[in-house]
Amino acid sequence: MSIVATNLNFRYPGANKDVLHGINLTILPGTTLAIVGLNGSGKTTLTKALMGLYEHQGSLLLNGRPITAYDPATIHRRTSCLFQDFCRYSFTLRENVGIGNVDQMAEDTALEIAMDRGGALGIKEKVGLEGKLNRYGSGGGEGEDENTASLSGGQWQRVALSRSFMRASEADLVIFDEPSASLDPKAEAQLFDRIHALSRQNGRRCTTIYISHRFSTGMKADQIAVVEDGTITECGPHAELMAKAGRYAELYNIQKAGFEE
């Protein structure tokens, strides 16, 4: 899917100023875009605007057509997303993952492929596809029976990632908002290899957008957009942005220095 935003603005209802302003961005089909920036700069809002969740001002074209010309159900069907506040359902592992693509919920192979990509196969081995998950954590919760498995934050993230990968196999646009926040370093590296592979697999033209605070992962994206105070101040591949010695290079070097200390 191609995405072209021209002078895109967005304001949350009731707010007294635009949270996104003057957004100009071109994402080619089959490429990856990493979004970086400080807390509260507008990264999540930008990804939600790009997938048509918000009524914006300015032009937003998906595959050359205004997003408003599409039936929202069509965009929903062709998009897979994982946001930071993903749901933890007090359902079985099959249901928690399969809900990403209900048509394939009964297909064990499809579930296993998604769980392999999302890093949840170990959880499947422990609790089984029909094992019930406890959204209240180890303390249990009102109305919960005792035979439910309690997962750690990172394990829940793996379940949610697997849910996204269930859908990603058919999507033209895949969005991940801080997908590795609770993952250990090994799982994080594996995840980003899979995310980068999404756009390139089987000759598909799937477009992948992800938000990451980790510059070592974002640098592998085809383009990196730096969001500051609601607008994109720099955009391009890692080498180009480093050569520019601007804001991206500054943030990258701050993070790198933190590792070298």
Positions that interact with ligand ATP (CB under 6 A): 12, 15, 19, 37, 39-45
Q: Which is nearer to ligand ATP, 3 or 20 (CB)?
A: 20
Q: Which is nearer to ligand ATP, 35 or 219 (CB)?
A: 35
Q: Which is nearer to ligand ATP, 10 or 156 (CB)?
A: 10
Phi then psi dihedrals of residue 62, to 5 deg: -110, 125
- Helices 108-118 and 153-168, packing angle to 10 deg: 120
Q: Which is nearer to ligand ATP, 3 or 111 (CB)?
A: 3
CA distance 126 to 105: 19
What is the nearest approach in angstroms of ligand ATP to the Cβ of residue 180?
A: 14
Residues 6 or more apart whose Cβ sits within 8 Å of residue 60: 3, 4, 5, 6, 8, 49, 50, 52, 66, 67
CA distance 168 to 247: 32
Q: Which is nearer to ligand ATP, 85 or 146 (CB)?
A: 85
What is the nearest approach in angstroms of ligand ATP to the Cβ of residue 192?
A: 18
What is the nearest approach in angstroms of ligand ATP to the Cβ of residue 261?
A: 23
What is the nearest approach in angstroms of ligand ATP to the Cβ of residue 69?
A: 26
Q: Which is nearer to ligand ATP, 47 or 101 (CB)?
A: 47
Instruction: Using the structure block, give the residue that is written with the tokens 């607008």.
Output: 231
What is the nearest approach in angstroms of ligand ATP to the Cβ of residue 39?
A: 4
Sheet order of strands, 32-37 included: 79-82, 173-177, 207-211, 32-37, 223-228, 231-236
Q: Which amino acid is present at 149? A: A
Structure tokens at 82: 């994982």
What is the nearest approach in angstroms of ligand ATP to the Cβ of residue 258?
A: 17
